[in-house]
Structure 1
Amino acid sequence: MNSLPYHEQQDIENIKKLRELIKSLPLFCSDFFRGIEQRTSSRTRIAYAYDLNVFFHFLQEENPVIAKLSMSEITLEHIDSLTVTDMEEYMEYLKYRLNDDNRHIINKERGIMRKISSLKSFYNYYYQNESIKNNPAALVKLPKLHEKDIIRLDIDEVASLLDEVEQGDSLTLKQKTYHKKTKVRDLALLTLLLGTGIRVSECVGLNINDIDSKNNGIRIHRKGGKEVTVYFGDEVEKALSNYLNERNTIIPEAGHEDALFLSLQKKRMSVKSIENLVKKYAQLITPLKKITPHKLRSTYGTSLYRETGDIYLVADVLGHSDVNTTKKHYAALEDERRRSARNKVILREKNTKE
């Protein structure tokens, strides 16, 4: 399997994981996952499986009929018999619960909304296939979401972050020991994230031969497996070039020969390791902001929009399939641009005579 591209390896691992998750659900659920396979990614289906697992555990805990049944004994007839009240009780249950390990689980608005959206898709599938007569999930109102401020780095914070990566002055003595070994890699990685806005999963999946040094581009695989080329500027080119000189001297572990970014164990870096790397440096620069790789993506999108004013270009470069997604994230900037336009059109020249 190591000969397959990284994104295909991940898809196979996700499919294997999904099959195990489906085994823990009622038997009829396998029809739902087969039915949505062609229009969803494996990661999306895994999220559905987790959400449905929570729903069925709720029914086993709270529903007097289903509480007497094992998971395999739950049928579509039981699902068809549920009401809007059951759905509303489930929403209440989601706010706070104990999981199987007696850990406290708290869901806020967005967490509840995602789980109810999963349930709506689940019910819609069987209702549209005429497998059930009732669709109480369709009648449930989703919780009202309060808009959250988009967290991003300011221009001076971006410069300070890259300076810290390059110099490591604020790191602990132990961190400085590792920093000597990873400085060039870390600078290339963070410069790439900040200079292209690619997703952390896309960054993890990069191979050495995905870099087009001649045209300053990288080949990445977007969500759904679509292959695109993203272009970068001179700062990214310099940081990547320095790292490639170092990377070419490293002998990777078997199965990781093609990977661009390697860990100290000489294996392809994981999403988690890049998240920890970003967190380590960002906390030194802006401790009050919770900076993740996705926030670096938002930082790039903001800079690009401010420079170009082209929301469609931003959507295209970030890989948003719907420009409305982009508009939602950069609505405040759009409003700022509209306000700045108020004095751009002059109706009458001012009289300069005294």
Structure 2
Amino acid sequence: MSYRLIDLFAGAGGMTLGFTDNRFCGGFESVWALDIDRSAVATHRRNFGPHATCADIEHWLETDRPIPAADVVVGGPPCQGFSLLNKQRAGDRRRELWLPFLDVVERCGASVFVIENVAELRSSPEYSEIEKHANKMGFDVVSEVLLAADYGAPQSRKRTVILGYRRDLVAGVTFPPLATHAAPKSGKNLPPWRTVWDAIADLPNPVGTEIRRVKAPLDLHFGRNPTSKSAARYRAVPPGGNRFDLQRNAPEITPDCWIRKTSGGTDLFGRLWWDRPSVTIRTEFFKPEKGRYLHPDEHRPITHREAARLMGFPDDFKFEGTKIDIARQIGNAVPPPLAGAIGQLVRQILDGRMRAAA
């Protein structure tokens, strides 16, 4: 049996992929997706069919347009309102976009919903508001901060996952999903975390500096055209190093602001490690000054293809848009392996609901 899935704030569709693709979970059919980003909607349509809508969710709901029936609603309301990277969090309207999300849950008749967001959400006042609102709708709520590496994504990305289920249809839920991987030497009888080596070591050298308009799995594996100063900075950072190594090895080409800042920022201008999962892939992974995004031993930032693999996207997933558009889609995505683990738990809940109704 296939369950009907709605994905809100869907982006490129990392959550949809995790739920619908048999490599991760399967057993779900995408019936509607919504996002305000046109390029992300184009990506979603290319991979999952024509059911994606480009619109502001609040404006869409104000029109009272019909919403398809669904068994589960998933999505990640924009996270910047909760993120510690946002220093002006108070009063940010993005903190309240869970309200229209739950409105869709109610209007489509879903039995389960999943909200994915930054780790900070779970300790925020908004989490309590989400829980109270869901309880009034007849849902019980469970949540946890999950580490993507524990579920097969080669990335140390931490995310709050909130799962709500109709208490009149489901007796209870064991949460979080069982991990599929564990830290090396953890003593757990599980495969070790997937590493940067596992994800990208087989890739050849990047070709060119633009997206190659060919139907090939490596069409995102293009390089950049750095200035001579940037190239010299890359060469000055040793394996596992960061901006402090740049300052020690080449102070003459180190930005003054970094020299003045003597603490913090240990990932800035850093190299990924071959034998660990990557750091969290953000939307500007192609800029080493934004984080630990230098290749482990080549003198360059990681490519779009490498970033997509570190997120857990298979090479046959097709992205639409400019280089900047696609980088934003990758950095904002839910890692499909993590989504798949959540999807397997949701499918168990829905299977149990169907058995109880029989």
TM-score range (shorter-chain normalised) is: under 0.3
Task: Give the number of the structure whose alpha-carbon radius of gyration is greater.
Answer: 1
Structure having the higher helix fraction is: 1
Q: TM-score, normalised by structure 1?
A: 0.25
Relative contact order: is structure 1 or structure 2 higher (C-alpha 8 Å, sep ≥ 6)?
A: 2
Q: TM-score, normalised by structure 2?
A: 0.25
Structure having the higher strand fraction is: 2
